[in-house]
Amino acid sequence: MTESIDASVVVPTHSERRWASLQRTVASVQAQRVRPAEIIVVVDHNPDLFERVKAEFPEVTVLENESERGASGNRNTGAFYARSEQIAFLDDDTVAHPTWLEHLAAPFGDPAVVGAGGLIVPAWERHRPSWLPDELLWTVGVSYAGMPTSIAEIRNVWSASMMIRREAFVRVGGFRVGFGKLGDQNRPEDTELCLRISAETGGHWMYVPDSVIEHDVPLDRSTFRFFLRRCYAEGRGKVQMAGLLPREQKLGAEQDYLRRTLPRAVAHNLKAATLGRGSFHALRAVTVIAAVAAAGFGGGVETLAGMHESDTATRV
């Protein structure tokens, strides 16, 4: 008899272009060594896809997004429908390893734990770009150098692989609708949720590297152009998020990443390049500098935009 756990797995989806990957995602959840209480697929304002998902997965609960278009409302629809003690989120372009769910649930024996996230490894469509350093793998949505290598408390996790206590999720109203991923817009709705829940409940988040998923990285996300756009969007998104947080709640993790992790990455790669360990190390050092510049530019643009909106509102 297959062991089960009181957890619902929510998979948001929005486009037929991800049909094959959605099939793999659902199959990987169904193949978990410890089975979830239910699997919920939520379709984001796409009636044709909704009907197709219902026909393809009769054993899965299929819902339509009842909120605004976008990842935040889509996930909220599934999470508020779920009745399990824990709610897990998994993106529709991922494949969960067979022990993903049981490892992700392990820290919840501690009542102070409000949520957990796991290791996300890249599934490159072709190959990893040689110029992309380990410290910047977050730009393609996967875990990066500098994250814990064993189970540890962490400030925030990513919604591509997240589990949360339903009580805490409902208490704060879920993901912030209107703030998150929609089209080319990329805001850190998962980070904002983690910070808001920690502030509201006093609980903490855990990172569980043994809980593993693979995240698709298509060719169009392996280009330097995409990389710069992603860094620029991150800069804008973090400024927007900071505006939503209380003044006393600073983005310390981001500051530490900029002041310590990235400078070490530049120094390491420059040293490796001078020792003749490969010219790609020099490219990786340049990439780090470009990332900081793009994110800084994005942050500056968003700061100026916010000042303009504030000035306009004052005049009105």
Name 110's Cβ contacts closer than 8 Å, sequence gap at least 6.
Answer: none
Counting DSSP H helices and E strands in the chain, the numbers are 10, 9
- Pull the structure tokens for residue 19: 């049909």
Query: CA-to-CA distance for 301 and 240, rounded, in angstroms?
Result: 11
Do 294 and 231 form a contact (C-beta atoms < 8 A)?
Answer: yes
Q: 109-126: buried (b, 16+ CB within 10 Å) or exposed (e) per residue? A: eeeebbbbbbbbebbbee
How is 126-168 classified by DSSP, letter by letter?
A: S---TT--GGGGGGGTS--BTB-SSSEEES---TTEEEEEHHH
- Give this prediction's pTM: 0.89
What are 112-153's pLDDT values in tens digits?
999 999 999 999 999 999 999 999 999 999 999 989 999 999
pLDDT at 313: 46
Q: How confident is the model at residue 277, as a pLDDT? A: 75
Please, are residues 178 and 68 in contact by the beta-carbon 8 Å criterion? yes
Please give the full DSSP string across 209-258, using - where no structure is assigned: EEEEEEEEE-GGGSSHHHHHHHHHHHHHHHHHHHHHS-TT---HHHHHII
Residues of the chain with pLDDT under 50: 313-314, 316
Return the pLDDT at 65: 96
Q: What is the pLDDT of residue 270?
A: 84
pLDDT, residue 279, reads 82
